[in-house]
Structure 1
Amino acid sequence: MKKYKKVLAAAMALTMGLGMAGCGSSSDEPKEDADKQTNEGTEGGDDLSGTLVYWSMWNDTEPQGMVWQQIIDGFMEEHPNVKVEVQWCGRDNKKVLKPALDGGETIDIFEYPLEIDLNDYVLDLTDYVDKAYQATDGKKLSEIVLPSLLATPKSMTGLDIQPAVGYKPWMSLFMYNKAIFDEAGVTAEPKTWEELDAACAKIKEAGYVPITFDDAYASWLPGMYLAREKGQEWVQQLVNDKTGEMWKDEAVVNMAKAYEDFANKGYFDANVGGNKYPAGQQDIGSGKVAMYYNLTGLTTEVSSVTGPDFKWGGFSFPDVADGQNKCGVEDPAGCTMLAVNKNTADPELAMEFIAYALSPEMDQKMVDEAGTTPATVDTAWPASLESMKGVFESNQVALNSGADITSNPDIAPTIQENFIKLASGQITADEFVNNMAAAAAQ
């Protein structure tokens, strides 16, 4: 707690322009002196030396943070003339990182939080990912990590350069209980809206609730339907329409009527009208509900409810019309991004550390002990996510969550409110369209 308060205090001081000393390093040796040693060689033959400062988005008590501590300790043990200083910022990294970087705080490596724009601070890693490092066993780093973890940071930041290297990849999928699918006789994952309809009917007949959601993720369902119809860029235009006319488009009408139909057939859980996160997640974890459209991290979030024997599945959002062929190819995807500060004194040492963190041995620790998705091609997948490996590998276009339907904060709450009412049978499809058109035009 003392170290964490130190981070916050430094960020506040930087924001106010007080010129306070940085909080990133706890070493007694000045970093500039330590950096002079870098690549000068050591008596043990290790040519790595110097000090790195890593600002983490995790808390040291989280499973991910505990694995990162093992990574840090292991790297320093292998390279005794390297010191890695870490600041456990937790999710407050999105509050403290930018003011710290703006103020010139010494930070070599950081996890890039998308809630803030740090593009001016990232080092272009294009050349660095095509190099071999001590932990990559003679292979280039680009040959070790999953290809998506090099492509996704570009789409997430909108940069043409290589702004970061990803780890802990995730996707948004229809997460489902395999046992319910098997019992209901659903033998194939739905790829079209008609197939999803048929699967829901079988699940309901078997005595289970087909679909649930929580308020926090409600808007992702209409967002993805519209993305299948029109594409993510159109969804982005829709939520910024000031006339209300786009909300009357046939695609919106089709979406509203499709979900109205599901509501009328009883496919949504009766509690969706009042579900507050994480109530719906608990319902799928308890075995009451078959499906929940959510992040693949759901498996970890409800593991205390599901227990170790729960069999997970996950499939791409279905195509909603013939000939779209977007299912399994275009889905929301992302990762946690490790970026190197362009002002780092030693980018090579920073990349040696990142390569070590993403080595198969360390990645396996992250998977086994923190329940994350693998970052390297040779890492064994956790049992809870193993069946989803194919959809991770087939995805070619990384969409934003919900196809960006919540990207305009002025109208996002209205979309959420009206979709919840639509799915819970409180309003009709026509009322949804009219409500949204009127709200957009205000």
Structure 2
Amino acid sequence: MKRTCMAVLALALTACGAPAAPAEDEFSLPTAAAYFTTACPEAGTKPAADKELTYWSMWTKDEPQGKVLRHAADCFTKKTGVKVTIQWLGRAYLRQNLLPALNTGTVPDLFDQDLTNIRAAIVSARGTRPMDDVLDMKTGDGTVRDVLPAAYRDTPAIKDDAGKLFAVPYIVMGNAWWYDKKKVPGFKAPRTMDELYALLGDRSVALDGDIGYYAAWYFDQLAARYVGPGGLAKAAQDPTGQLWKSEPGFLKAAEHTARIATHLVDGWDAGKFPQIQQRWADGDAAYLFMGSWGPTETREYLAKQGGGQSIDYGSFQFPLPDGAAHDVIEVQQIAFGVTAKAKHPEAAKAFIAYFLTRDLLAGMPAVADSLTPRSDLPVPSDLADLKAALEDPAKKHTLFMDGLDGVADGKFAEQVFFPADNDLLRGRLTPAAFVDRLATATAAFWKTQG
């Protein structure tokens, strides 16, 4: 799943639903077909004046997510009388379409994308308006504040520099180590790094090394556990580069990353995505560290191959290394924003509240096999372990790559971090040399930025 920054991250969330675990309140996910024939829920918030809104979407109309959103828009029109015009623009539209439009009078009322890209492209250009008032709007079954856990609405990742909410999430993505339960009987999640290394065994980890942030995940996962949420992005933005060397956790993380590299399958850095991921699906590797779209992509691959092969997906998180004090879990959210120049902000915000109604938002797991921020929605069975980890109150949420890939509009990761990380994994740099290179290259990078 190749991407530009985090935008294409959501591209892979495009598959039919998987079997779901029952929720405690006995709400069951509908089948994908039944979802689109279910009666539209009532709207808890109806615009007093706006009778239309324009929505620019990161999805295409034929993707499962796009179909769910189109259905929700049609229901919103039916229940409120507000006409919703949607432009399906794809993953790169924030910079290609929305950012250039901010200085014109032609902007959408509503838009969506992942938090990293919204902050880097639109919030930084002062193109959004505060969304705190949305929290007190009524969905069809409670207020937005009621249905969104604090972990997804009261976090620095979703607030601007003034502490104001700039977006409201509707999809949650995480990452994890994936394995086939059928092939690892009696599995026990590793509690230490030594237990992880013993579990991984010999050349058992699949990695499509041509995807920069896939390869970067090992170091950033470990480093975040040493330095805490925001620590990597802080080091990346240090104009002297010396934070990489003065914080000992970065060297420790590099040492563990170098050890993980010894477990990578042969050819991990010679293939073209998704060849190595497919080797994992075929059973040539036991473990795959991947985002929550991993089951979707590999299931689709096996279905196309035929032969009836399947995977019973299980997942687990990195253990906390010795000396690390931050039990983190990476999370990325796909969220709605409202533009600063929106002509119909009331309708846009009302639609956000409406879509978070359980019966509507259920389309994301039921149709698109995606996680949502609502804790009362059943979870696709292949994502149950990951959802439990995301909702573990002992874990601190941090952005994918700790937001490092949003630094300097993604240029820092592409020019500085990814090349150094690849050389660490290939054994071309020792852990100490890797840290030294980050320090030197970071300082040089910021000198060129003016």
TM-score (norm 1): 0.75
Q: 1:212 to 1:361 in 2, by over 3 A?
A: same
Deviation at 1:365, TM superposition (A): 1.5
SS at match of 2:177: strand
SS at match of 1:219: helix
Report the structure number with the largest CA radius of gyration: 1
SS at match of 2:122: coil
The match for 2:399 is: 400
The match for 1:199 is: 199
Between 1:250-259 and 1:192-201, the stretch displaced more is 250-259
Deviation at 1:160, TM superposition (A): 1.3
1:364 partner letter? A
Deviation at 1:50, TM superposition (A): 0.8
The match for 2:147 is: 144
The match for 1:13 is: none
Deviation at 1:97, TM superposition (A): 0.9
The match for 2:19 is: none
Deviation at 1:393, TM superposition (A): 0.6
The match for 2:370 is: 372
Q: Any conservation in 1 of the 2:54–2:85 contact (CA below 8 Å)?
A: yes
Q: Any conservation in 2 of the 1:55–1:89 contact (CA below 8 Å)?
A: yes
| Candidates 359, 362, 368, aligned match of 1:361 | 359
Q: Any conservation in 2 of the 1:63–1:369 contact (CA below 8 Å)?
A: yes
Alpha-carbon distance between aligned partners in 2 of 1:77 and 1:155, rounded to the nearest angstrom: 31
SS at match of 1:39: coil
Q: Any conservation in 1 of the 2:207–2:264 contact (CA below 8 Å)?
A: yes
Q: Say if 2:338 is the partner of 1:340.
A: yes
Q: Say if 2:216 is the partner of 1:219.
A: yes
| Deviation readout 1:315-373 (Å, 9 max, x if unpaired) | 3332122462x33xx22212111122344454443333222222212211221211211
The match for 2:258 is: 260
SS at match of 1:84: strand
| Candidates 400, 415, 418, aligned match of 1:416 | 418
Q: Any conservation in 1 of the 2:316–2:385 contact (CA below 8 Å)?
A: no
2:224 partner letter? A
| Candidates 116, 120, 138, aligned match of 2:121 | 116
Alpha-carbon distance between aligned partners in 2 of 1:410 and 1:147, rounded to the nearest angstrom: 31
The match for 1:15 is: none
2:207 partner letter? T
1:314 partner letter? S
| Deviation readout 1:361-393 (Å, 9 max, x if unpaired) | 221122121121123233211122122221111
Q: Any conservation in 1 of the 2:153–2:168 contact (CA below 8 Å)?
A: yes
Deviation at 1:153, TM superposition (A): 7.5
2:93 partner letter? N
The match for 1:4 is: none
Q: 1:64 to 1:323 in 2, by over 3 A?
A: closer
Between 1:376-385 and 1:231-240, the stretch displaced more is 231-240
Q: Any conservation in 1 of the 2:148–2:374 contact (CA below 8 Å)?
A: yes
The match for 1:295 is: 291
2:283 partner letter? G
Q: Any conservation in 2 of the 1:226–1:255 contact (CA below 8 Å)?
A: yes
The match for 1:62 is: 63
5+ residue gaps in structure 2?
1-45, 304-308, 445-450
How many residues are paired up?
381
| Deviation readout 1:211-234 (Å, 9 max, x if unpaired) | 534332212211222222223444
Identity among equivalent positions (%) equals 24
Alpha-carbon distance between aligned partners in 1 of 2:238 and 2:344, rounded to the nearest angstrom: 47
The match for 1:313 is: 314
Deviation at 1:430, TM superposition (A): 4.9
2:401 partner letter? G
Alpha-carbon distance between aligned partners in 1 of 2:239 and 2:144, rounded to the nearest angstrom: 46
5+ residue gaps in structure 1?
1-36, 41-48
The match for 2:82 is: 82
SS at match of 1:162: coil
- 1:157-196, aligned counterparts within 5 Å? 157-158=160-161, 160-182=163-185, 185=186, 187-196=187-196
Alpha-carbon distance between aligned partners in 1 of 2:287 and 2:69, rounded to the nearest angstrom: 32
The match for 1:271 is: 267
2:136 partner letter? D
Deviation at 1:63, TM superposition (A): 1.7
1:260 partner letter? A
Alpha-carbon distance between aligned partners in 2 of 1:386 and 1:319, rounded to the nearest angstrom: 21
Aligned-residue CA RMSD in angstroms?
Answer: 3.1
Q: Any conservation in 2 of the 1:174–1:314 contact (CA below 8 Å)?
A: yes
| Candidates 125, 143, 152, aligned match of 2:131 | 125
Between 1:105-114 and 1:94-103, the stretch displaced more is 105-114
Alpha-carbon distance between aligned partners in 1 of 2:343 and 2:244, rounded to the nearest angstrom: 51
The match for 1:17 is: none
TM-score (norm 2): 0.74
Deviation at 1:235, TM superposition (A): 2.5
Deviation at 1:426, TM superposition (A): 4.8
Q: Any conservation in 1 of the 2:231–2:402 contact (CA below 8 Å)?
A: no
| Deviation readout 1:236-288 (Å, 9 max, x if unpaired) | 3433456665555543443333333344xx41111223244333322333332
Deviation at 1:157, TM superposition (A): 4.7
SS at match of 2:264: coil
Alpha-carbon distance between aligned partners in 2 of 1:244 and 1:160, rounded to the nearest angstrom: 28
Q: 1:234 to 1:162 in 2, by over 3 A?
A: closer
Q: 1:237 to 1:168 in 2, by over 3 A?
A: closer
Q: Any conservation in 2 of the 1:215–1:276 contact (CA below 8 Å)?
A: yes
The match for 1:23 is: none
Between 1:360-369 and 1:281-290, the stretch displaced more is 281-290
Alpha-carbon distance between aligned partners in 2 of 1:243 and 1:39, rounded to the nearest angstrom: 53
